[in-house]
Amino acid sequence: MKKIAVIGQGYVGLPLAIEFSQHFAVVGFDIDRSRVEELNSGRDRTLEADLDKLNAGLLLANNSGFDRGYRASCDLEVLATANIYIVTVPTPIDRYNAPDLTPLLKASEMLGKVLKREDIVIYESTVYPGCTEDDCVPILEKFSGLTFNKDFFVGYSPERIVPGDKVNTLTTIKKVTSGSTPEIAEEVDQLYKTIIKAGTHKAANIKVAEASKAIENAQRDVNISFVNELALIFDRIGIDTNDVLEAAGTKFNFLKYKPGLVGGHCISVDPYYLAHKATQLGYHPDIILSGRRVNDSVAGFIASKVVKLMIKKDIPVRGGKALILGVTFKENCPDVRNTKVVDVYHALADFGVDVDIYDPWASGEEVKHEYGVDILSTLNLDEKYDAVVVAVSHDEFLTMDFSKLKKDKAVVFDIKACLDRNIVDARL
């Protein structure tokens, strides 16, 4: 009988564990004890879980003697009772934009200590092609004393979670699968077919599956970098980028990307994994890295533009007050991973502007922990600002009365082009 352990109960691992718990016994493993306690009480701070399904899984586990259902745990002895392990830990980049495999390798070391014969380890974390077999498998072998593809097996199925999206969810997005032998590839594929309504695509091998994930987001990154570069050009010309894109978008085969800050856990990270592998092989990936450079420059451009608009209106820059609305990396979700809004904050602060951030979706504690930045818990409507920057198009901001936030000759900059043009001075 299959018993699944999903390692990491965040944005990727929790929805996966909940779906599998309808068919199998699932251990949702996380090293954060407070997270485990939260989940076992039927709560989820990420807002990604279907709470009805989560609580149904918890109830099923209690009523079935844990033959099916869900339980969260941080206990290695509980982890060892599984025979299929799915790894969904983060794979970030370091300060030099190099892959940081620490969480992945630590998870592999931990699994090596509980691995048994015939067990399968499936990785979902984003990596460069070859990482699973070249970096993770040797650690599994070392700490288990078992032999790869004889005693234990691995698979790779890249995550495709879209935080905050309640339409394109785990089960409605086609899933790429792979395995270390043809037989294991089929077993992994059949496993995911039990939960993925959209179906699966069995890749030719693990490296192909790894590469498919990396290029999904590298492609989007490059396309967004193109329209961001257009925004830099059209600003100098003195025309609105969104007007140009709207006109060009009337042609049937024009790809409708918008300029903006490119943050989050995937698009701004995955290209560096692909570039890292390419560089290892002696190839310099010009397009991928140039796209990254353009997208990483946008925050500085926005801050400079806001300051220029302030100067144009004779608003003192040094000591001026600015409000940034939104700090999450996308609208209507609490995810602040790798947000580039913080870069706008620092760029404005470097000009001498006194900057506040307000975001009703974000956890102030998490933002402080991750970025060292304090955000407002509530908006003080008695406070008036010299500049208001709409960085995230949360629903709460779309109907906001900006006249209550700004001084008479204040600047309103709309990064997301989500507001009525009559109330903004400029937009990206």
Token digits of residue 119? 């067990």
Instruction: Give the confidence band of 214 by pLDDT, cuts at 50, 70, 90.
Output: very high
Q: Report whether pLDDT(341) > 90.
A: yes
Tokens encoding 8: 């990491």
Outline which parts of the chain fall under CATH 3.40.50.720.
3-204, 233-427
pLDDT band at 382 (very low <50, low <70, confident <90, very high): confident
CB atoms within 10 A of CB 388: 26
Checking if the pLDDT of 377 tops 90, the result is yes
Please report the pLDDT score of residue 154 as a whole number.
98
Identify the pLDDT of residue 266: 83
CATH of domain 3-204: 3.40.50.720
pLDDT of residue 267: 87
> Alpha-carbon distance 89 to 30, whole Å?
9
Section 366-385 average pLDDT: 93
Question: What is the pairing mode between strands 25-29 and 175-177?
Answer: unpaired
Of 62-66, 105-109, 351-355, 409-413, minimum mean pLDDT range: 62-66
CA distance linking residue 332 with residue 393, whole number of Å: 8
CATH architecture under which domain 233-427 falls: 3-Layer(aba) Sandwich (3.40)
Give the least confident one: 162-176, 185-199, 280-294, 366-380: 162-176
Mean pLDDT taken over the chain = 95
| Model confidence at 163: pLDDT above 90 | no
Question: What does the alpha-carbon distance between residue 422 and residue 115 come to, in Å, rounded to a whole number?
Answer: 62
* Residue of higher predicted confidence among 203 and 265: 203
Band of the pLDDT at 333, cuts 50, 70, 90? very high
Q: How confident is the model at residue 145 (pLDDT cuts 50, 70, 90)?
A: very high
d(CA 392, CA 147): 49
* pLDDT of res. 343: 97
Q: Is the pLDDT of residue 225 over 90?
A: yes
List pLDDT tens digits, range 385-422: 999 999 999 999 999 999 999 998 999 999 999 999 99
Q: Read off the pLDDT of each residue in 270-290 and give the average, rounded to a whole number.
A: 95
- Tell me what the mean pLDDT of segment 6-31 comes to: 96
- Other CB atoms within a 10 A radius of the CB of residue 294 amount to 21
Give the integer Cα–Cα distance in Å for 240 and 249: 14
Q: Of 46-50, 66-70, 311-315, which gets the smallest average pLDDT?
A: 46-50
Model pLDDT, residue 111? 98
Catalytic residues: 266
CA torsion, ordered 48, 51, 53, 54, to nearest 10 deg? 90
**pTM of the entire structure?**
0.92
